[in-house]
Amino acid sequence: MKNNFSAGSKTLSALLVSASVWMSPAVLGMATATAAAPVTGAVIGLPDFADLVDRVGPAVVNIRTTERLKLGSRGNADGQPGEEEMQEFLRRFFGGALPQPGNPGGKSTPRRRQAPSDEPVQRGVGSGFILSADGYVMTNAHVVDGADEVFVTLTDKREFKAKVLGADARTDVAVLKIEGDKLPFLIMGDSDKIRVGEWVIAIGSPFNLENTVTAGIISAKQRDTGDYLALIQSDVAVNPGNSGGPLINMRGEVIGINSQIATLSGGYNGISFAVPIDEAIRVSEQLKKSGKVTRGRIGVQIGEVSKEVAESLGLKSAQGAEVSLVEPGGPADKAGIKAGDIILKFNGVPVNRSSDLPRLVGGTALASKATVTVWRKGQQLELAVTVAELEADKTAKAGKGKGKGSGAEPEAVVKANALGLKVSDLTAEQKKDLGVDGGVVVDSAEGVAGRAGVLEGDVLLQLNNVEVKDAKQFNAAVAKLDAKKASVLLVRRGDVAQFVSVRPSAK
């Protein structure tokens, strides 16, 4: 579950020769004896982070937020978070829910009186770091979300009231400004050049314990978590309060902003995620100038390309983004992109995974022309699309399913074909509504097609890159399929189209 935020001494002493040696020569010898070639560059010591922490620590800050609660809102009179606020805290950081108050006798515990009108109460605690000597500070957007006042505290105990210049929820980046000069600040690194296995440290305020340092290594460079960005994964201990703090390499450079943890137990389980600093800086520049971030869009809904679908479509590998929905009248629609297309490149940059496309499109200048390379019916096409502006939290919505069409002739299909499908022709009205020239509607789905997820009411548009014209042509094509090879159907359900891989039953 994703959240926005020992070994025995006897065994250990047997492996270590001294405090400066990681593995004994005997152990290294055992590791290399069975290898085809000797291992080079073996680690012979552990890093000392003390000098690094002394150098970068002063630029890491504690961030405290308050909220002016109205009568009947979330907080309590003693400044402690109310039930709703705690539910949100646990949802973001632990993925759990707050048990309802009660006692063994089954009677509910009386609620505390609500805060008087406009009384400021502490809302949350997070971390951040200073970007420049004149007082720009970076943190997570969720740290300052909903706050009425934000206070930044330095390691020398100086406290400043901060102004939130802007926050971007998609990347979870926020920029603050404090009135100060000659402040300590951190140097930004290059998150594109990080290497899996290199040492990193995190500094922050976990559980409001200021200036806490933890260390570990980078576990993965680009980890897709379902969000807008691919994040840096590490095994650095990160807990609630670390959010917004820096992930720092051994050169003292910031390579990421600690943002999330993955946990099943409710606590830190060895997996944490950081926003890459390269993207965070690009976002911060826009937030400084306008207080918001503008991104491009082309008006498509996309999905991953599976290995089975790639093979059936003639692609060399499972790459690209499968277009499942095209926004009517949107940029992609005007450019001729269709549901079922596989987007392979955007402006010449390969789309290896579907998650690559939103980042490539989002970083493109608005109103500019972009070249989209698509795979359609075994051929590669290049289409020109004009990039529009992505509205806040705009998502494509699927329409309601068309269902089984009235006027179709069920007598045209007597029995299920080799895929387990009974289909009938679309009416002229259905074709007009769907914006298609051909296709068939599924009257029933059993056998291999049913197991693959095809449902009654679905519309079938293609079979193995060939357009479906009517029920007769479709059934004739199914009868000729090789039972030993997988085939792929382009299935439309409502406004969403998706490739489904099926294998015909043996005759």
Tell me the three state secondary structure of residue 318: coil
CB 461 within 8 A of CB 340: yes
Q: How far is it, in rounded angstroms, from Cα 343 to Cα 351?
A: 7
Take residue 43 and report the two structure tokens written for it: 């680690």
Residues 237, 272: Cα–Cα separation, whole Å: 7
| Contact call for residues 195 and 218 (beta carbons, < 8 A) | yes
The amino acid at 234? S
- Sign, CA dihedral 179-181-186-189, equals positive
Catalytic residue among 205, 234, 243, 354: 243
Per-residue three-class SS string for 392-414 = CCCCCCCCCCCCCCCCCCHHHCC
Among 114, 118, 115, 166, which Cα is nearest to 145's? 166
Q: Which residue has the tokens 């405290």?
A: 64
Pairwise CA distance, residues 281 & 150, whole Å: 21
How far from the centroid of its chain's Cα atoms is residue 134's Cα? Answer: 33
Q: Are 28 and 16 in contact (CB under 8 A)?
A: no
Residue with tokens 């969720």: 142
Task: Please tell me which residue in 127, 145, 168, 172 is annotated as part of the active site.
Answer: 172
Three-class SS of residue 74? Answer: coil
Q: Find tokens 């502490």 and name the residue.
A: 122
Nearest partner of 191 among 281, 307, 97, 61, judged by Cα: 281
Q: How crowded is residue 450: how many other Cβ atoms within 10 Å of its Cβ? A: 18
The residue with tokens 């006897």 is 10
Q: What backbone torsions phi and psi does residue 78 show, to the nearest 5 degrees?
A: -90, 10
Task: For residue 473, report the phi and psi dihedrals to the nearest 5 degrees.
Answer: -65, -40
Where residue 348 falls (left for φ over 0; alpha for ψ -120 to 50; beta otherwise) is left
- DSSP-H helix ranges across 67-193: 83-93, 141-144
Confirm whether 306 is a catalytic residue: no
Amino acid identity of residue 459, one-letter, is V
Is 142 catalytic? The answer is: yes
* Sequence-ordered list of residues with C-beta below 8 angstroms from that of 216, at least 6 positions apart, any chain: 199, 200, 201, 202, 234, 235, 236, 237
Active-site residue numbers?
Answer: 142, 172, 243
